[in-house]
Structure 1
């Protein structure tokens, strides 16, 4: 395998599948099957999942909810998604551990770096829920930070598009896809890959990011085997 330890970043919206909100059980099962393929290859897997299918902290201000309170609500939304994904993975025969940035002892462990690494070494899939436990930080930032802490080889950002484009391909049919980008190029072109905090963390720690379409069967497996899929953003 090209990558021994990965951090897989999934969006909460992706779990909606064909629904307008909530969790689509078919999409959840699809993701579990894709993750199982690379688990069976011996890849060590950590996962961060968003909560946009349930609640986003940035929505809070529009509804009159304090931003900090809204961000904590968003963290709890990510925890719900993480629990759903954990259940699906375990039903498919995988061992998992759910670690949270905020204390919810009844359903998950608190995040402890050394313990998370030990879980990975023992072959368990580690899911990081509730962000980093602080408001004003996105799940992109969580993914970047946790990937650095567990010494992951790469951040794989699973989206519904097959890479990074010059413009939004769903709105601009003339948009063209980038095969590779340097962090500097992505910054200069103002490409919306991750929020700036997450992006800077990856750049400063020389942690590559691959943006790819998670909904295409086999993409995740082919990526960890070294095939050129999606868009690679790196220091080179």
Structure 2
């Protein structure tokens, strides 16, 4: 059975916009596609994680301590998605990609959050995709693709239909910090590039688009490959 990893941003799970209704509909999509695909979901922390990280910084916590706060928030979000999926999900939250991989192949969706300090959930998604031999990573975000600039701030920003792994790496630069947000994590980008695993960047709350991406069909978002 073909394997797909979904990197589900925290901003998609809990933007405080009829979240329960969305998660129920998202669960229906996952239940349907999991009959044909082996699906793994890695949940981000979103604004809950950022709240704890910002407050932790005010308390002079270290970067590792801040990361740990963020990881705990991702696991709460993962549990929320599990509750939405009910019996269609494995009802434990794996804490490593090895544990998640071992739980796969049982006809149920595996849902997890972060793992260790220094690794974003995008990076975890890439590592999990490598571990299970996934065909693609679906990066579900609050933006409907990769743009030349942030489209929420720059009205002239242009969306890419397709970019290469090398272009992605050039876009990223920088390094990880607790609570940071990019198109995709630099560590994760290196993993998918090494393994030639395509990334499909889509609007996470567009459920029809999400289903197309999981199935590997044509999307209106951005494909990162080559």
CA deviation digits over 1:110-135, x for unaligned, max 9? x473x644543221111123x22x21
Which deviations, in whole Å up to 9, do the C-alpha atoms of 1:81-127 show, x marking residues without a partner? 1111101101xx514243432xxxxxxxxx473x6445432211111
Q: 1:99 to 1:151 in 2, by over 3 A?
A: farther
Instruction: Report how many residues are paired.
Output: 215
Q: Is the 8 A contact 1:9 1:158 kept in 2?
A: yes
Counterpart CA distance in 2 for 1:141 and 1:215 is: 21
Any idea what SS the aligned residue of 2:156 has?
A: coil
Partner of 2:139: 157
Q: Deviations over 1:30-73 (max 9, x none)?
A: 32122223124x11100100112312375332442222222111
Q: Spell out the pairing of 1:123-162 with structure 2 (5 A cutoff).
A: 123-129=107-113, 131-132=114-115, 134-162=116-144
**Which structure 2 residue ranges, 5 or more long, are not aligned?**
174-181
Which residue is equivalent to 2:170?
188
Task: State the partner residue of 1:106.
Answer: none
TM-score scaled by length of structure 2: 0.85
CA RMSD of aligned residues (A): 2.3
Distance 1:27 1:62, change over 3 A: farther
Q: Which has the higher helix share?
A: 2
Unaligned 5+ segments in structure 1 are 102-110
| Aligned ranges 1:30-109 → 2 under 5 Å | 30-40=25-35, 42-56=36-50, 59=54, 60-90=56-86, 93-101=87-95
Give the secondary structure class of the aligned counterpart of 1:7.
strand
